[in-house]
Structure formats: C-alpha cells, structure tokens
Chain A
Amino acid sequence: MTKSLTFVERILTICWQRLEDTCSNDARSLGLFRIFWGIFVLLFVAPYSAWVGQVPQSFYNPPVLSVAFLFAGFPPYWLMLAGDLVRIWLVVLITIGVKTRVCTIVLCLLTFISTNFAYSFGKIGHDILLWAVALCLAFTDWGVTYALVPDRRINPKVAARALATAGVLIAFAMFTAGFDKALHWINFDLSTSGFLNWFYSGYYTLDRKLLLAPFVLKVPPQSIKILDFAAVAFELSPFFFLFAGRAGWRAWILIATCFHLANALLLNIPFHIHVLVYLPFVALARFFGRASAGGSVTTAVLSWRVPVIIFAIILGLAHTAQRLKGGGSSFLFVEGDSVVRLAVSLVLLALCALLIALDLTTCVYGTRLHRARSRHGVPDDA
C-alpha cells in the first residue's frame, strides 16, 4: 500500500511540476494584470445584485444544493445594496493594491453569496470561472508589485501551485461543457446539428440577429456540422494543452479567445468576462519593458499609477452614486440590455487575442532561441 501511494505521489509531483511550469507567470505581469482586472471589473462586470431585493418573494426558487436554500427568501434590498457597495470598494482596493490578498478572498466569498441569491430564480448563471481564477490569484504575488500597500511575498511554491490550479479549473470547466456535447454531437448524421440548435433558439426566440448571425442562415446546414466537431474538440482538449507546455497552453487560450469571438459574431453571445480568465497567463510585463533600478523609476512608475488610482476611485464613486440613487448596472453604467455590450465584448476579446498572440510568438521565439543556443553551446545570457 505504501509503495503504491509513494508511486502515485511521485507521478502527481511530476504532473504538478509540469502544470506549474506551464502556467507560471512573473510577479510584475501579475501586478499589471491586477490593475487591468480591477478596471475591467469596475467597467464591465461591476458587482450589482441589489435588484434582487426589489422583486417579489414569490419568485424565490434557489438551487437546492446551495447556501441560499437555507433562507426563506431574497434578502432585503438594503442588505444586497450594502453587499454591492462593499464589493465595489473591495475591487477598487484590489485595483490600487491595498491588502490585495485579503480583499480578493473576501470579495470572492461575498460574490459567491450575492450571486447565489441572484441565481435563485430557477437558473444558475455561469460566471464562476472569473471568481474561481481570482480566488487562485489571491494566493500569488499579484498584490505585491505596483501596489500601494503591497502584500507580503508568498512562498513561490504556493504561488506556482495557485496558478497551476487556475489552469486546471479552466480546463475542467471546459470539459464539463464539452462532455455532454461529445455524447450527443459527435456523429455523422448530417441531418442534425448541435450548433444550429443553439443558433436557431437564440436567433428566433432571443432576437440574436446582429453581426454575422444572419449569414449563418445562408450556409447549407450540412456544412455547419463541422462546427459540432470543432466545439467538442476545443472543449475537451485543454488538459492536453496544459501538459503540452507553455507554448501549447498559450496556443489553447488563444484558440479559446477566438472561440468566444466566433460565438459573439455568430451567436451574439458575449463572453467577455473570460478575458480575465485567460490573461493571468500572459507575460504582460513584456509589453511594458524592463523595470530598472533608480529613483527616476519610482517617479516614472508612480506617474502612470496615479491616474490609474484616481480613475479607479472615480469609478468606485460613480458606482456608489448610481447605487444610492436606486439604479445600477454591471456594464458601463448602462441599465438594462444593451447592443453596445456585444460590440464592446468583441473589442475586448480581440484585444485579449492580440495580447495572447504576441505573448505566444515571443514564447515560441524564446524557446527556439534557447534550443539553438543549446545546440551551439552558447549561454542564454551571452
């Protein structure tokens, strides 16, 4: 028994080491991503659940296996509003880098509770990856660099494991989406289509007729069958790419971003929140040059951080004002549904794809250079 356990432990050590090498990212990149994350959340995914306190209690139908099932009804409006305001200011604190680790953990836990009530109408939303990945980032050094009140540096092993776990969560979530599709969509029956089931219901019952959606009607349905296979292949492949290495994983998240872009164009389903799920693995520090030592750097660094801090606080105040006036929105302060949401989602996903592509190119170039130097016996720092 002990021998078997030791053997399994050894295999898992190798696997996790591989995952950690694949998913690792430097503290500077994570610090930059933290600022991007905060501004993105304040603009496009702002905490807004107070509306739950304004609907009749007869609508209450919480998921059976959730904390909300223990409650008799929706919480009162004032409590949901207070929760929203606390979460908004936690996001502001995370953006400017004040005790980021604690703020992130508290924010994610509060979000799980608030959204539990928001999903108590008989349907669960699926933004879980955004907050699950954020919870993993709380155990990295994303609150150390470019932070007003930096966190203490965490054990590098813990940080590496946290990012690897984030990668596993993403891969598993995609697997859950692809598993049932694989059982029903993978066949050679050209008279049925899974993609078109999604398309027609959105097109004809939810009025998703923008961008490239009308062109889908012009394509022979039998030709679209290839999309069923492509969707399943994409959703069941991430674990393979996680173990394939850094370039492989970045290639997959680039494909994932393109997948969401295609969904936005053809199905009008905006999944811009996944920009924040994929970008933690991108070496954003590449695009900002090397940080050099010296007093002038402090000034240079602070010079761009001050406007960011001011901007984050302004966003927090704007959200607070909107909430206290009885309104609220999670997307660009616009209340209700908006066509703008789809257009902005496209821009965000395109930007995300560009950043990932640049990082992937640099990663592949770096790997080839390293291999060439190894073959010729030239040190990497020559």
Chain B
Amino acid sequence: MKYPNLLYTTVLSAFLLVPFAIGYLAPTLEPYPAVLLPSWAGRIKTTEDQIDFNRTAIYGRVAGRDAWTRLSPSQFLNPVPREFFPPLAQRYFGLSPIEPITHTIKGGAVIRIDAHKVSEEEIRNAKQWLRARLNGSGCDDSVLRITQEVATLRRSDGAEIAVRYQNDKVFDLR
C-alpha cells in the first residue's frame, strides 16, 4: 500500500467526524454507535434569586380521593433508568398518536422522518403496564396525568415557588 497512514487517518477521521457533524447540526439525529460525549452547553442566570426549570412530571390520582400525587420516575418506571424518563414522558409513553418527527438542523433545513407506528395492541399493553405501576404506587389505576411544566425554585434552598403547566394531559387507561 502506497499511502497507508493517509488511508488510515482518512478512514478514522471520517468515522469520527461524520457522526460528530450530524450530532452537532441535528442533535436529534445523533447516530449510534458513535464516539461522542455529551456536551450540554446550556447556561443559567446566576444573579437572580429564582431559577426556572423545564421538566416533565407524571402524576397519579390518590386512590379514593380527588387529589394528584407526583410520582417518582425512577420507582415508577423501574427497570427503565431514570434518565430515560423525560423523552418517554414527552412522547406520552406512546399513548398519543405520534406525528412524523421533524428535525430542524442548524442552517434552517427541515427533515421529516416517520416515527415508529404504535399499534392498538401495543397501546393496550402499555396501558396495562402503566396500570400495574399505578397500582403498585397506591394510586387509582384508571388515569395517568403527564404534564410539561416550568417549575420556579428559590435558588438558595430549592423551595418550589411556583409551577406553570404548559401542557397538561390526562390519559384514561381503561
């Protein structure tokens, strides 16, 4: 081989740089497997007494009462790891019809990809699974509430000052 190091470096560079470029321009299209580590380069204001957090929360209705209790994602979803909870809950555990996924990449181009279709039987199985989890949490197993919310916390001690519900959905699991 005439230029072995050039060939090796070119192949290795392509293997590393192409996934990086895709992941950078369109984070939702991050390939796997790829040699990438999380960046999470967001910033937060440090001069204010309050901080806002976007979060997805799940609530169960307390059995026999008309009140909601926030459920712990790690306990509710076990064995699914806690870090997988936000994207799962944002898709409402597949219970709602899922529109084609739209990815806007840096530069303005838009890519549409058909999401995995969830069948009626899969929805039934999911409801059965969620009902078992709600029962295990001591909640009414007929409803599950999923909210996208902005929680305002006091920075000094984390006390929750306010919660703004941006998207509140209640699912009938019967």
Please give the residue numbers on chain A whose beta carbons come within 8 Å of chain B beta carbons, in ascending order.
5-6, 8-9, 12-13, 16, 51, 54-66, 68, 72-73, 112, 115-116, 119, 121-126, 128-129, 131-132, 161, 165, 168-169, 172-174, 176-181, 183-185, 190-194, 196-198, 200-201, 203-206, 217, 221-222, 224, 328, 335-337
Contact = CB atoms under 8 A, between A and B. Distances in A.
Nearest to B160: A204
Contacts of B39: 176-181
Contact of B31 (A65, A194, A224): A65
Contacts of A16: 5, 8-9
A158 B115 CA distance: 43
B53 to A, nearest CB: 6
A191 B51 CA distance: 13
A357 to B, nearest CB: 24
Given A5-B3, A61-B116, A193 B46 contact: yes
B37 A126 contact: yes
B44 A196 contact: yes
Interface stretch (B58-66, B86-94, B137-145): B86-94
A72 B90 CA distance: 20
Nearest to B80: A55
A12, A73, A132, A179: most-surrounded residue (chain B CB, <10 A) = A12
Contacts of A128: 33-37
For the complex of A and B, list the 9 residue pairs with the smallest distance between their C-beta atoms, beginning with the closest.
Answer: A122-B87, A58-B94, A221-B46, A65-B31, A56-B126, A51-B79, A12-B5, A177-B37, A58-B126
A72 B46 CA distance: 45
Contacts of B79: 51, 54-55, 328, 335-336
A124 B27 CA distance: 11
B165 interface: no
B22 A65 contact: yes
B8, B93, B116, B156: most-surrounded residue (chain A CB, <10 A) = B116
Contacts, number: 196
Nearest to B37: A177
B122 A123 contact: no
Nearest to B113: A64
Contacts of A61: 87-88, 91, 94, 115-116
A5 B74 CA distance: 55
B42 to A, nearest CB: 5
B166 interface: no
Contacts of A161: 8
A129 B37 contact: yes
A365 B17 CA distance: 38
A251 B33 CA distance: 29
Contacts of A191: 45-47
16 contacts: A51-B79, A56-B94, A57-B94, A58-B93, A61-B87, A122-B87, A123-B86, A126-B38, A172-B35, A192-B46, A193-B46, A196-B44, A200-B44, A200-B155, A204-B51, A221-B47
A123 B118 contact: no
B20 interface: yes
Interface string B111-141: 0010110100011011001000000000000
A194 B38 CA distance: 14
A52 B4 CA distance: 42
A180 B24 contact: yes
Contacts of B38: 126, 177
B82 A206 contact: yes
A351 B142 CA distance: 51
Contacts of A73: 116, 122
B71 interface: no
Contacts of A192: 43-46
Contacts of A123: 83-84, 86-87
Contact of A121 (B16, B84, B129): B84
A221 B155 CA distance: 11
Contacts of A203: 158
Contacts of A5: 3, 6
A296 B101 CA distance: 67
Contacts of A193: 43-44, 46
A5 B47 CA distance: 55
Contacts of B41: 180-181, 183-185, 194
Contacts of B6: 5, 8-9, 12
Contacts of B22: 65
Nearest to A193: B46
Nearest to B28: A64
A124, A168, A221: most-surrounded residue (chain B CB, <10 A) = A124
A308 to B, nearest CB: 30
A57 B46 CA distance: 42
Contacts of B74: 336-337
Given A59-B80, A124-B30, 19 more contacts: A5-B3, A16-B8, A16-B9, A56-B126, A57-B94, A57-B126, A58-B118, A68-B32, A73-B122, A121-B84, A121-B87, A123-B87, A126-B38, A132-B35, A174-B37, A176-B20, A194-B41, A204-B51, A335-B79
